[in-house]
Structure formats: C-alpha cells, structure tokens
Structure 1
Amino acid sequence: MPNNVLHTQRKAPLLIGMELLIKNLVLHEDEPQYETEGDATFCRRRFVGGVKRSFQNAETKWVLDSGSSYHITGNKCWLKRISEIDGDKQLQFSVASGTTFCPTHEGDIRTNEIKLSGVYFTEGCSMNIISAGMLESQGLQIDFGDGSFTVRNPESSALVGEGYLDTQEMRYVVNYLNFKKKYISEAGSAEEIAEASTIIAPEASTQRNVKKRKREATESWIVDSGNAHHLTSTLDDMMKLHSVDKSNISLGTPFGQKIEIRREGNKRSSTIRLNRVWYSLDISHNLISVPQLDIEGYKVRLLSGVCTVW
C-alpha cells in the first residue's frame, strides 16, 4: 500500500449543508488486488403497511454517512418530541442525483442503542441516516478503518459511539451512539444555522452558470462513508475506460432515484489518482467511497473540519 496521507478541509457547500471535499488524493499506484463485496450503492429498503406495522417491519439499522448533511429518517415512529418545521425555516438537501428534498418534522431518537437530537423526518426516505459531518461539526472525532468506526470526544477520548462495516451492503451500521447535543456554534442558534443552510432556488440556467456548476462538480470530490463505490460525473482525466456488466449493478438514492453506471476507469488528475471509478450521468457530485478505502486497508479520520486518509 502506498504510504499516502491526505488532508482536506470542509469548504462552502455545493448543494447541501456540510460536505468534506477532497483537495488531493493519490491512491492505487498499482491495480487493486481485491474483489468488492456487494454491488449496490444506497441499497433501498421500503416500509410496509401502516405506522405500527412499518415500525415493526422497517429497516431497523442506522447508518453513519459522511455524505449526508443531516440526520434523516423516513419513519416518524423513531422520533420523540417531534415537532413540525416552520415554513419560513424550511430546509432543503440534495442526494447524489442532485434532486432536492425538504424535511417536514424534527425530533429526537431515544432508544437503548441510539440517543441523538436534531433528527429530521423526510417522507420517502428509505434509510435511517446519521450524518458524520454533523457529528464532526459538533466537535467529535470519527475514525473509519479495519471494518469498523468509532465516534469519540477528542478531549477526553471517551467513546460516544461505534459500529461496523456491513460488507454485503457496503454501509457503516451503527451499534450504538449516545450524543444528545444539538448543533449550536458561534454562528448562532440551531434554528439560525438551519435557516442559513436553506437552499436558495437555482440560478437561471445561463450558459455561464451551467459551465460554473460543471466546473465545481469536476473539481470537487466528497468523502462519502455512505457510498459503496467511487463515482464520478465527468470523464475528464479518466483512463483505461471500459464498459461494465450492468446486470450485476443496482444503484439508487435513499429516495428511489436510479443511478445508471455507464463506464468504469481510473482517475488520473493532478489531485486525484484512484482506480475502479464508476462513471454516471445521473449524479451531481464526485464521490470517494470510504468503504472501498477501508477494504483496501486505509483509514479515514474526520476531526475539526479536516479529513485525513492514511
């Protein structure tokens, strides 16, 4: 394995509230010698029946996702002290496809395994998602590696949560998490921050704006622990391109949008060197898969607005 160390800082968002964007990554000087387990990114689960039955039969796993700006669930039964979000403070967020969604309610989780505040209910979401970026922004340290993850208080080293990498679905499943603090920073209250994160309607699609968005998407890579495979929306600096067997690939977002994979290749730019990257026109962000890095023996740390890979 190359002895690479990557540092990247959280920057201003593209479409969603908090993203850890890669500045430089050089990995895989040689072809990888592994076979990935599982072939699905954002594997979908659907709730069945009414509220009571859906609570009993819904996917009970919570996943830790560094590509998500907020804690999100599609099942209200998880939430305590639930309240409706005021219309003038309505949030918006986007998924990998670029489609935006608006949560309608906010509440807390209080189970034996998970205690967490500031969780949003968004109808149609088929997954239970804990935002690694949100936890990191609240002063916690998150480490991925060796098929697991830990969440700690960096000052005391106290363990706040932990979980494991499900190699069939390529997600980090939360075993337990106990962190009830709401997101409050020097910028103001949680409500003020939420209001500031609201997405403004897109600019008119002038030729200049279209080029600007394409350039931003091309230059930015998001470190995503909720994504099963490296994905890109551009063929720039891609080498050794070849077709993929689509019969073995089933990709989609937590809200049901399908993602079609067109080709696979190796990324070779001045800042990113990465093998086995899938190319799709159905995504709006370039994504680096933390599970894939983990499988190859790399470790990833999120702390104080900085992501380190070694």
Structure 2
Amino acid sequence: MTAVRIDGKAIAAELREKIAKEAETLIGETGVVPGIAVVIVGEDPASKVYVASKGKAAKECHFHSVEHALSADIGEAELLDLITKLNEDDAIHGILVQLPLPDHIDEAKVLDLIRPDKDVDGFHPINVGLLTSGARDKAMVPCTPAGTLILAKRAIGNLSGKDAVVIGRSNIVGKPMAALLLAESCTVTIAHSRTQNLEDIVRGADILVAAVGRPQMVKGDWIKEGAVVLDVGMNRIPAPERGEGKTRLVGDVDYDSAAERAGYITPVPGGIGPMTIALLMANTLTAARRKAGLDDLDYAELLG
C-alpha cells in the first residue's frame, strides 16, 4: 500500500482562512482586534525566519501584531520588564517569546511571568496543569501538539479506542501530545530514545507521533500496516546531491519506507510545521474571544 500524504501546508492555509473570517466577525461585533506580541532575543537566522512567518500569518488573519527584536546581550531584568508591560497591555491577547533564549537568561522565569491567559504557546505551568487534569477548555494548548491532533482527526476522524504511541517526552510536544490523545480516548504509550524494544512498541501503534529529534530514526518496517504517522521532527542533514555544503530537512521518520506501510503520513517539510503557526493564530483568537466573554471555537470542526 502507499500512504495518503497529509498535506499540512494546505490544511494550515485552510485553517488560517477560517480564523481570518472569525476574526473579522469578532472585530465587527465587539470591536476587539486580536493582538499578538512576539519577542525575539538575538540574531538566530532560523528564529528570525520563523518570527517573520508568524508576523505574516497574523497579518493574514487581521490581527494586531507587534514584534520586539532585542539584542542578545539584553539583561534578564529588562526582558522581564517588557513581559510585564505586555501583560498589562489590553491590546495584546497573546505573548510569544521565541526560544531558545541566551544562556544568561532564565528561560523558565521568563515563560512563567507571561500571564496564563496570554500564554499562546501553552507553556505556563497553569496551562500545563489544566491540560493534563482534563480541563482543556480552560487551558492554552501548545500549538504543535494541537495542530498534530487536528491532522490525525482530519485523516481518520474519531480516534477513540486507538492505540497511540508518542516517541518523545518533551514538555513542548511529547507530554502535551499524550494528554491530548488521552482526552480523545486513545490508549497512549509515551516512548523515547532509551525505550527498550522501541521497534516492537511502535509496531503496535494505530497512531504514531514521532517527536524525538533524531533524523529518520523510525524505519518503515516499524510501522503497522495502515497506521497514521505524524512526524514532528525537523532535522537538517547533509545533501551532497544538491551541491557542496548543501543540506535538506528530514523528519524523525524515514518517509519513503514508512509511506509503503502507513495509511496516512505527514511529510517533512510541509506537514506539522505549518500547523504550528496556524494554531498559534488560533490560540491568539481564542485568547481574544475569552477576553470578550465568548465561547471557544472548535478548530477541528471549523475545518469540517
């Protein structure tokens, strides 16, 4: 069999279009313009490209968007002061601090200062606690896991009763992904690079989420026939066929061999990545709607 390619780029574009329409409605009915502030410290090229993509998406969605580009040698106190000001700014509904931060800044201290209702990354301990305790409707859910879940539901619909394996135990992807799948009534196993008999565990998965950060670690013969494979990995490897010093992006799954066994699979690039930015816009709209006293939207339902 040949897997159906899950086109995250197209689905993300569709979702951003829906969010833009909902934002227009919110602005027209309440006067509330969703606002997002992105803070970037230093000159990391990949981070700057990512921040630019977020700014472009915010503009498409009719959001008020501001960017604070700070020097890499900024003091921790000065950065914390900026976060405090953004917390108090009524025009800003979402605050995102681009990671990683320089070594002299306490990352946890910065993220914990962001007000939970403006924490559109979903990293604040209060949002983590709400998600893992089953109160997802009150939490801000991390963007990458939320987008991954939407792609899984878009592929096969109801996930109830499915065996799901998440490779990766990070606070950013692995743990919240497991919580989301549990909430969908999946039976969930969290594995990682040190899991014994990892191949055998993966072979039992109806749904596989690979978020371990090792290029092409998951081989095709690990995949259960017909499984949904969701590759969160984003790894740059040498590509001499493109010329000296050239590289290319690959996921944590060996796409070509896995696609011969899976039922559905996300590519890298063009799979989970675009959904992460779309869900950042969704979280910002959610924050604005909550501030206006409105109910949350079901973004999976918006996509149909």
Task: Please tell me the TM-score bracket, short chain as reference.
Answer: under 0.3
Q: Which has the higher helix share?
A: 2
Q: TM-score, normalised to structure 2's length?
A: 0.26
Higher RCO (CA 8 Å, separation ≥ 6 residues): 1
Q: Which has the higher strand share?
A: 1
